[in-house]
A and B are shown apart, each in its own frame.
Chain A
Amino acid sequence: MSDDTSNPIVVMERVNKYFGSLHVLQDVDLSVDPGEVIVIIGASGSGKSTLIRCINGLEPFQGGAIEVDDHRLVPDGGGRSALQAIRTEVGMVFQQFNLFPHRKVLDNITLAPVKVRGWSWERATENAQRLLERVGIADQADKYPSQLSGGQQQRVAIARSLAMEPRVMLFDEPTSALDPEMIGEVLDVMRELAREGMTMLVVTHEMGFAREVAHRAIYIHGGRIVEQGRPEAVFDNPQNERTQAFLSRVLKH
Chain B
Amino acid sequence: MTAEEILQQIRARFGSEIRTSEVRRGEASVTITGDRNLEICRFIKEELGFEYLNCLSGVDWIGENEMEVAYAISSLRQPGKIILRARIPRNEPVLSSVVPLWGTANWHEREAFDLLGIRFENHPDLRRILLPEDWIGHPLRRDYQDERFVPYPWDDRKPGSVVRPTTA
Partners in one complex: no
List the interface of chain B (C-beta within 8 A of A): none
List the interface of chain A (C-beta within 8 A of B): none
